[in-house]
Amino acid sequence: MAASSASEASVSLRVAGSWSGEVTVQLSTCRLSELRKKVAEASGFDEDGMKLICGGRMLKDDGGDKVLSQIGVTEKSKLLVTKVSAAQVQDMAAEAENARLMEERTQRLARLKSAADAMARRSGGDLFPSDGYELQLENQEGQRLQFSDEDRRALVMGLALHAKAGKLMEREEYKDALEVLELAEEAFALCNKVHLEAVDNVSLLQIDTVWCLYMLKDVARLAVARERLTNARAGLRKAHGAHLERLRMLQGGFCPELALYVRLETLEGVVAFHSGQPVAAKQALQSAEGKYKQLQVSDESLVKLTGMGFSLAESRRALRVSGQDPERATIFALEQRRKDAEKREEDKQRRKERRWKNANGTGIRTWLRSTAS
């Protein structure tokens, strides 16, 4: 049967640039990969070492199964072929791989968002953040970290899921909390590791995961618990220092995260005991007990600070992080009030900016902030 249109017949496409000539193709059946192969054979170029340009745009192999007629190539099209160096070929391959990974990450985040929203509907809670959320993440020095939109979406999702899990843990709904923590961990895994190493959010998540397993008495998942605690310990070492020296330096000699290490070492002791390691279990639990005693506050010290106008909560926290030293506790409490006042002023300014931006159609809806302290 005769061809009913020119696109169904074989046509000769003119090629210019690094090589000049013609290649014969059928526009209705030939795919871009086949066209590249024909040009490579005719020109003697390496198929991966050339670029094809048509109508001012580069033809890429991301068109799937589309044929030439579907990607804008006609019988009147003129192709431009350029030969690229080995370094350029590597750059092109890296660019294609990055695009693939970006698409994969976007799809995984969309799936996580759907799963999180389904979970929220099931429990009657709020839906989880979307791209309209803005995020600031700070390292232990209080410096804001800069990250891409893709990293921002992953971090927002991870932090929001972790916060949701925390509320479930407060209600002692550990099974549901564990499910949410697993989603949060997957969201964090989609973020650039450089950003996560500057803070301790992932370590906190891993400790919470093991705490849920402990409260559920899930001894069968000891291997999972041991792995999470090992990762948490390594993450805290990077963020705080091997002996908390970096943390104390950054916090002016104070150690507000001491309670965190009580939890970590308690869980390490429990896991070691159930793993048949009594010596390691004893060492971990004794260390946890020592830190726990450091957190105990005397009534006399509390009276001194509350008598200076600090609340009971302010006084207790200040004494705990200062090692029960009333003078240093006073300094810490005053500094904390100053920081809180600055944060309230910053939040007030951001609300003003947000209202202004919303009035001008930017669509920014909230501000989510996470710090390591």
pLDDT at position 176 over 80: yes
| CATH number of the structural domain spanning residue 76 | 3.10.20.90
Please check whether residue 223 lies inside any domain of the structure.
yes
- Amino acid identity of 322? S
pLDDT value at position 128?
54
Mean local confidence (pLDDT), 318-337: 84
pLDDT higher at 99 or 136: 99
pLDDT value at position 372?
37
Q: For residues 229 and 94, state if they share a domain.
A: yes
pLDDT value at position 240?
75
pLDDT at position 179 over 50: yes
How confident is residue 115, by pLDDT bands cut at 50, 70 and 90? low
How confident is residue 191, by pLDDT bands cut at 50, 70 and 90? confident
pLDDT value at position 355?
63
pLDDT value at position 99?
65
Q: CA torsion, points 270, 272, 278, 284, in degrees to nearest 10?
A: -70
- Residue 129 CA to residue 76 CA, distance in Å, equals 49
Are the C-beta atoms of 333 and 315 separated by less than 8 Å? yes
pTM of full prediction above 0.85: no
Query: Any idea what DSSP says for residue 128?
Result: P
Q: For residues 10 and 25, state if they share a domain.
A: yes
Which two three-digit tokens encode residue 52?
Answer: 């094809």
Residue 109 belongs to domain spanning: 87-236
pLDDT value at position 267?
94
Please check whether residue 370 lies inside any domain of the structure.
no
Q: For residues 24 and 144, state if they share a domain.
A: no
Q: For residues 162 and 283, state if they share a domain.
A: no
Please check whether residue 241 lies inside any domain of the structure.
no
Q: How many CB atoms lie within 10 A of CB 214?
A: 18
pLDDT at position 130 over 60: no
pLDDT at position 283 over 80: yes
Q: For residues 33 and 94, state if they share a domain.
A: no
Q: What is the pLDDT of residues 236-246, one digit of tens each?
A: 888 777 666 55
134 phi, psi to nearest 5 deg? -105, 150
Q: For residues 92 and 197, state if they share a domain.
A: yes
Q: What is the pLDDT of residues 351-360, one digit of tens each?
A: 776 666 555 5
- How many domains are contained in the chain? 3
pLDDT at position 339 over 90: no
Q: For residues 93 and 231, state if they share a domain.
A: yes
Q: What percent of the chain has pLDDT over 90?
A: 19
pLDDT higher at 334 or 58: 334
Q: In a 10 Å sphere around its CB, with 0-12 CB exposed, 13-18 middle and 19+ buried, how is residue 270 labelled?
A: buried
pLDDT at position 259 over 70: yes
Name the least confident of 111-115, 165-169, 360-364: 360-364
| Longest alpha-carbon distance in the chain | 102
pLDDT higher at 97 or 307: 307
Q: In a 10 Å sphere around its CB, with 0-12 CB exposed, 13-18 middle and 19+ buried, how is residue 84 labelled?
A: middle
Which two three-digit tokens encode residue 269?
Answer: 């002791």
Are the C-beta atoms of 100 and 89 separated by less than 8 Å? no
pLDDT at position 370 over 50: no
Name the least confident of 83-87, 169-173, 226-230: 83-87
Q: For residues 64 and 133, state if they share a domain.
A: no
pLDDT higher at 195 or 167: 167
pLDDT value at position 22?
92
- Residue 1 CA to residue 85 CA, distance in Å, equals 46
The mean of the pLDDT values for the chain is: 78
What residues contact residue 8 under an 8 Å CB cut-off, 6+ apart? Answer: 26, 27, 28
Q: For residues 224 and 110, state if they share a domain.
A: yes
- Residue 286 CA to residue 212 CA, distance in Å, equals 22
Q: What percent of the chain has pLDDT over 70?
A: 70
Q: What is the pLDDT of residues 7-18, one digit of tens each?
A: 467 899 999 888
